[in-house]
Chain A
């Protein structure tokens, strides 16, 4: 009896001890929150090196793009401890900084000699700074991204199509330099039979629920002369947001949607765009650069069949592109901030950044992207570099959510549902945005 009791006691102690040890081993595991997409898989792979070096385990919480903002903003607003590190969208930076969700990284950067001068300037402003253009850093640029275009190089190089196109439009079929040229190409391919299949001109962003149509329309509007506000008077939007040039830009976007998109493409964003291009439905495809590594590898449309081009110029010669991408931040509600900062330090390392690029992530480190070998490292590398040089971003104000919802509604009502005019949509947008800033006490 005594010996059985001893045995039981021993077993119980062993189980308790092993549970405690395993808990201790996992106590320092970090959870990184991000969107569920291809670069996230690359980051999982990359982070194995961090675990090897430091012994700190990594867990990941990836949420599909359509729920990404809802899920993680809820998490931050409720001061949740799920995420130790978060790769938050560029537009969240204002709200996250002002509401104390992110740890300010200036002291840490100084201590660890991480200089923001080592990163692509547009990504520092876009992903790290709040207020913008001030040296207050809340994130390390993690994933450079920008809206650009892919096209079917194999279709563009068909001699019979080149001949027909030249006869019709008077210039050689190739990547467009202006938006007018882009529309001509899209019209040319719309409902054309290629290899026994009906194909369409272009896949563009039209999604209503999150941010899709705003990202797409802005990508065009910037090059037409749209400005968010009077450069000399912040939040003064009249005649900037709804200028004649902006109206022309929005009219162009609607015309492109009406003439040249596949049937039923009234709610398309990144995933739908990838599907349309991969299934051989469209000649051109607007999407963020993160999609390019996957498309390049695709058996049906990748390799020699795909080409890339920078967002074309507007009628006045202006050329801009919508910034995407994110910075990595330490969540201020995390109990493991020290380990999280270790991860940031490790991630900022040049070798890690080089590997990040090779795995399919888009590094923002100058040492990587300005390496002479970089443009030739991937077929899309040069287009990425050129695009990153012309980026503009949406409002990053703490009230970015209602600002975004207003533009989603106004743009979708006009572009997809055909309600009212472009001028009505932009006038309405000025009204909505003014209301938001008035509510914030900024006007």
Chain B
């Protein structure tokens, strides 16, 4: 059937085109098919990357197109690495990445483990838990901003109900100590289901006979968890951590919508600083250098992590 279709297609190919194609090798044909994608990738990924690297060595500003572009060598990089505000933004980012990953992994794995018990109605609960992940970050950011409102927000009223503190005093987004946690809570709420899904895939991939063998050996549930469940699900957990780590390192939308980096600069993560330098202060060369530093940092860390992940998988 397939042969006949191919024959029909070949017969339908106009003779001049068929003559041209006849001389092309399989490899050539493969290149012909993938070349549009490669060209597109070069145009929208590779070229901008190299252009950004070039700009990072200059004083170029996008809002001064007529100004002469000077080569500054490594001056932008030196300035960034010596800028205290940049280091504070990096610390804020690290704090945010650490706590969101820790909470999402713990809660996500626990939820996956519970869902894997296959209790009655587990399918319904799985769907319900996945809902936050399906929402747009813009929607999530905006409605949590309302929830956090000290005067009308449900969050403040809920905390007030439990703690007895007046809602007006629960200023999640205005308080320097609480604002970073307000973002961590929202990110955890939204992305824990994602971690849960990956962990659930890991748990479901563990063959049942291993548990049966452990049962025969009279291993306790606790022992089975530490010796079978956790080690065998670990590559999946590590994969989830990798994905969330990369995502949260460049987190922008949620922070921008909830606090805009404030109060002061307490929630100003690296991506917010980068946006301010690039599109508010119009330091294009400087911000390109910062973007390259961030790229190298994420790329380097991700590579080290992937090597560790491979080692765990080979065990």
B66 is an interface residue with CB less than 8 A from chain A = yes
CB under 8 Å from chain A, chain B span 155-194: 168-169, 171, 173-174, 176
B202 is an interface residue with CB less than 8 A from chain A = no
- What is the number of residues of chain B that contact chain A, defined by CB distance less than 8 Å? 30
B276 is an interface residue with CB less than 8 A from chain A = yes
Which of chain A's residues has its CB closest to B268's CB?
A409
Residues of A within 8 A of B283 (CB): 402
Stretch of B11-19, B27-35, B57-65 that contacts chain A? B57-65
B262 is an interface residue with CB less than 8 A from chain A = yes
A-B CB contacts (within 8 Å), total count: 89
CB pair A417–B62 under 8 Å, yes or no, is no
Q: How large is the interface on A (under 10, 10 to 19, 20 to 34, 35 or more residues)?
A: 20 to 34
A135 is an interface residue with CB less than 8 A from chain B = no
Residues of A within 8 A of B92 (CB): none
B150 to chain A, nearest CB (A): 4
Give 1 or 0 for each of A362-403: 1 = CB within 8 Å of chain B CB: 000000000000000000000000000000000000100110
A412 interface neighbour in B169, B171, B262, B276, Cβ under 8 Å: B262
A77 is an interface residue with CB less than 8 A from chain B = yes
Stretch of A120-128, A167-175, A259-267, A309-317 that contacts chain B? A259-267
CB pair A416–B263 under 8 Å, yes or no, is yes
In angstroms, Cα B150 to Cα A265, docked, is 10
Give 1 or 0 for each of A74-93: 1 = CB within 8 Å of chain B CB: 10010100000000000000
CB pair B281–A405 under 8 Å, yes or no, is yes
Which of A77, A264, A398, A413 has most chain B Cβ within 10 Å? A264
A77 interface neighbour in B63, B85, B173, Cβ under 8 Å: B63
CB pair B265–A409 under 8 Å, yes or no, is yes
A421 is an interface residue with CB less than 8 A from chain B = no
CB pair B65–A99 under 8 Å, yes or no, is yes
In angstroms, Cα B65 to Cα A398, docked, is 12
A418 is an interface residue with CB less than 8 A from chain B = yes
Residues of A within 8 A of B59 (CB): 439
B224 is an interface residue with CB less than 8 A from chain A = no
B282 is an interface residue with CB less than 8 A from chain A = yes
Give 1 or 0 for each of B242-264: 1 = CB within 8 Å of chain A CB: 00000000000000000111111
B229 is an interface residue with CB less than 8 A from chain A = no
In angstroms, Cα B266 to Cα A195, docked, is 38
In angstroms, Cα B260 to Cα A409, docked, is 12
A267 interface neighbour in B150, B169, B262, Cβ under 8 Å: B262
A13 is an interface residue with CB less than 8 A from chain B = no
Which of A70, A262, A402, A419 has most chain B Cβ within 10 Å? A402
Residues A417 and B65 in contact in the complex (CB < 8 Å), given A208-B261, A263-B171: no
B174 interface neighbour in A100, A402, A404, A416, Cβ under 8 Å: A416
CB pair B151–A262 under 8 Å, yes or no, is yes
Which of chain B's residues has its CB closest to A436's CB?
B281
Residues of B within 8 A of A100 (CB): 66
Give 1 or 0 for each of B210-232: 1 = CB within 8 Å of chain A CB: 00000000000000000000000
Residues A263 and B169 in contact in the complex (CB < 8 Å), given A73-B63, A412-B264, A417-B265: yes
Residues A263 and B150 in contact in the complex (CB < 8 Å), given A402-B281, A439-B59: yes
A95 is an interface residue with CB less than 8 A from chain B = yes
B34 to chain A, nearest CB (A): 32
CB pair A99–B263 under 8 Å, yes or no, is no
Give 1 or 0 for each of A294-324: 1 = CB within 8 Å of chain B CB: 0000000000000000000000000000000
Residues of B within 8 A of A79 (CB): 65
CB under 8 Å from chain B, chain A span 247-273: 262-267
A55 is an interface residue with CB less than 8 A from chain B = no
A95 interface neighbour in B63, B168, B173, B176, Cβ under 8 Å: B63
Residues of A within 8 A of B264 (CB): 208, 409, 412-414, 416-419
B280 is an interface residue with CB less than 8 A from chain A = yes
B263 interface neighbour in A198, A262, A266, Cβ under 8 Å: A266
A64 is an interface residue with CB less than 8 A from chain B = no
A266 to chain B, nearest CB (A): 4
CB pair A398–B260 under 8 Å, yes or no, is no
Residues of A within 8 A of B276 (CB): 405
CB pair A405–B280 under 8 Å, yes or no, is yes
CB pair A418–B176 under 8 Å, yes or no, is yes
Residues of A within 8 A of B47 (CB): none
B299 is an interface residue with CB less than 8 A from chain A = no
CB pair B261–A264 under 8 Å, yes or no, is no
Residues A417 and B266 in contact in the complex (CB < 8 Å), given A77-B62, A77-B63, A401-B280: yes
CB pair B281–A264 under 8 Å, yes or no, is no
B265 interface neighbour in A95, A402, A412, Cβ under 8 Å: A412
A15 to chain B, nearest CB (A): 34
CB pair A99–B63 under 8 Å, yes or no, is yes
Residues of B within 8 A of A413 (CB): 264-265
CB pair A266–B173 under 8 Å, yes or no, is yes
A10 is an interface residue with CB less than 8 A from chain B = no
Which of chain B's residues has its CB closest to A281's CB?
B151
In angstroms, Cα B280 to Cα A77, docked, is 13
In angstroms, Cα B276 to Cα A412, docked, is 15
B23 to chain A, nearest CB (A): 44
Give 1 or 0 for each of B50-87: 1 = CB within 8 Å of chain A CB: 00000000010011111000000000000000000100
CB pair B260–A208 under 8 Å, yes or no, is yes
B67 to chain A, nearest CB (A): 8
A302 to chain B, nearest CB (A): 22
In angstroms, Cα B64 to Cα A187, docked, is 47
A417 interface neighbour in B150, B168, B263, Cβ under 8 Å: B263
Residues of A within 8 A of B261 (CB): 208-209
Residues of B within 8 A of A69 (CB): 280
Residues of B within 8 A of A99 (CB): 63-66
Which of chain A's residues has its CB closest to B276's CB?
A405
CB pair A416–B262 under 8 Å, yes or no, is yes
In angstroms, Cα B265 to Cα A287, docked, is 24
CB pair B262–A402 under 8 Å, yes or no, is no
Inter-chain pairs besides A73-B282, A266-B173, 6 sampled, C-beta below 8 Å: A77-B63, A100-B66, A208-B261, A264-B150, A267-B259, A405-B276
**CB<8 Å pairs between A and B, sample of 12:** A73-B282, A77-B63, A77-B282, A79-B65, A264-B171, A267-B174, A402-B283, A416-B263, A417-B176, A417-B262, A417-B264, A419-B176
Binding site for B on A (CB under 8 A): 69-70, 73-74, 77, 79, 95, 99-100, 198, 208-209, 262-267, 398, 401-402, 404-405, 409, 412-414, 416-419, 439
Q: Which 7 A-B pairs have the closest CB atoms?
A: A417-B264, A266-B174, A413-B264, A402-B281, A263-B150, A263-B168, A264-B150
